[in-house]
Amino acid sequence: MVFVWNKDDLNDEQVDAIRHPGSVFLSACPGSGKTRALTYKIALELSRLESEKQWVVAITYTHRAAEEIEERIERLGVDTSRLWIGTIHSFCLDWMLRPYGILHDQLKYGFRVVDQHESERRLEELGSQMRPRVAPAICGYYFTTNGVVLAAPAHSQASVHAVLEAFWEGLRDERRIDFEMILLYAWELVRDNPTISILLSSIFKFILVDEVQDTKEIQYAIVASILRAGAGRTLAFLVGDANQSIFTSLGGYAMPRGDFQQLSGVAMAHKSLSINYRSSDRIVQYYSNYHVAPAVVTAEGAFKEYPSKISFDQQIAHQGFEDEIVRLIRYNIEQLQIPPNQICIVGPWWMSLAALTRRLMAAMPDQSFDGPGMAPFARDQDNFWYKVARLALTEPSPRLFIRRLRWAGEVLADLHHAGVMLPNVTRRDILRICNTIQIASQDGLEFLRLFFEEFSSGVGFNPTAYVMLAEHHETFFARSERQIERLLASGVQGVNDIAMFRRTFASRTGITISTIHGVKGLEFDTVIAFALLQGMVPHFAEPNPEESAKKLLYVICSRPRKNLHLIAETGRVDGRGDPYVCTTVLAACRHAYDQIAADAGAGADVEPADL
């Protein structure tokens, strides 16, 4: 039965894009119901599949987005058994490297994927042997179809390249690959073996790509190879917003529609979503100052007429800016009646956010905070035991059933990849086993150790007999112990308690603290952004700083529904001792900002400290 929806579910723009019979290149402004449109399009195409051998593929930027979309489709009552949804790296692993790796010299004897922490450890070790030392932070890189691109400054590229050559050689010797190698080897497989793309195009009826503006050149090439091989059998639905393309330093960019048509051989209709249902008209008008690509955005949501507060402070000193953040939080909670879990603090660099989170926790003990580095165990989403921990630390409930069933499927898939053959064990069996395990310990790490033991016994495998599972087990607990030590040393209370562990997977309950890149795709009632300084926003290494700054500000300012507070504090200095100044694009924006009274939201002080 073909999927149908109620008349009020979608607006005319969404219906036009979803019902278009061919391929679509969809430009979607913030808050326009992009995820809803993508969800309904997937549901529609799933319901139209004519053969059990056909699949719909949806490529998302994050695991979180994949979970949200699949849950929405399930709630629409559409069968997702022939939907594959996940990140591009997972797509390449599942559909190319694992089934066809035998055709590649570097993969034919088997391989294991190293996680980000292991990559950083290896780079740290290799970089420490160089003179001068090469820090892992400048060893970022990505592959294109023509070679490798280094993120290091020009004067460091030679030494960084030497470190990376040793890094790649070490991985090859141990038959391991990192995330960038996943993309490289996937591209090499489809480039050198055209039959792979032909076979995949005969299976995939539709390929949908979310957040297409953050796609890398080599990723475009991989998807285009399948579409071109399909010669019209496989259609595409690409969704994105060129104004939110903020991953350029990682190789992401918004490929023009014409260029992708030429690359893929697929004609694509251009469609647009221009109605913002999220923010007030004042917020929409403000962030329109930072357009890079032309866009028409109209506020039409429930908060269209909300009298938004938009403030900008470039006078506050660095040594007092945390006091100002506390004041603005209290002002929003007490004066504007904003729920704490609808407030987000945004900063440019993740390294400083964990320390800021801890200081705000000390300054506002009456509030809870969800910030980076606050989880009491290693949050490595590719670690097998992290995936089991998600099931261990979430309670069985109808609300979480679809999500936990998906997690159970990931656990089963990882067991299969590790060599554990369980032909008669289903996703529901995994959930049943997890739901029956009872652990009395209130110590978080001990709880997980015991849970993992009972889980392994219940499923029927010995983790120590499988290299991948044993390595992941050791890594999970070693990193978790170090994380707990850091949190305890910072004065965070109750780190070991099982309740703290369970909070990691609970719905957002406190004030969120995030980087600009981490907040993309989210929305809040109020956003407070700090360190809006040239060299931070944008990063000092950006080749096109004005355009990059506009895109970053566009993302920040399009997150709130109601209120926006911008801070460009004075007194910060860079590594050479030169003072940072306000981001040029922000300083040049002329706007009638609101003045938040000095005594508004006055509350507890926070001890200033360098970030």
Give whole-number Cα distances, 212 to 188, 215, 379, in Å: 22, 5, 26
CA 381/CA 63 separation, integer angstroms? 9
Question: Angle at CA 558, nearest 5°, toward 537 and 344?
Answer: 75
Count of CB atoms situated within 10 Å of the CB of 217: 19
Contact 586, 532 (CB under 8 A): yes
CA 170/CA 262 separation, integer angstroms? 38
Q: Which residue has the tokens 């039965």?
A: 1
Q: Which two tokens stand for residue 277?
A: 């249902």
Burial 83-108 (b: 16+ CB within 10 A, else e): bbbbbbbbbbbebbbeebbeebeebe
Q: Which two tokens stand for residue 215?
A: 């796609």
Contact 549, 538 (CB under 8 A): yes
Contact 181, 171 (CB under 8 A): yes
Which amino acid makes up residue 522? Answer: L
Identify the DSSP state of 252: B
* Residue 343 phi, psi dihedral angles, 5° rounding: -115, 135
Contact 313, 567 (CB under 8 A): yes
Which amino acid makes up residue 200? Answer: L
Residue 198, SS3? helix
CA 571/CA 471 separation, integer angstroms? 46
Per this entry, what is the length of the chain? 611
Which amino acid makes up residue 366? Answer: D
| Omega before 132 within 30 of 0, i.e. cis | yes
Identify the DSSP state of 543: S
**Binding site: which residues?**
28-35
Q: Can you list the positions of beta strands (E) in 51-198? A: 55-59, 83-86, 112-113, 141-144, 147-150, 176-177
Q: Which two tokens stand for residue 135?
A: 């820090």
**Binding site for ATP: which residues?**
28-35
Contact 301, 264 (CB under 8 A): no
Instruction: List residues bridging with 205 in a β-sheet.
Output: none
Contact 511, 370 (CB under 8 A): yes
The dihedral region occupied by 564, where left means phi > 0, alpha psi between -120 and 50, and beta the remainder, is beta
Those residues whose C-beta lies under 8 Å from the C-beta of residue 541, and which sit 6 or more positions away, are 151, 153, 249
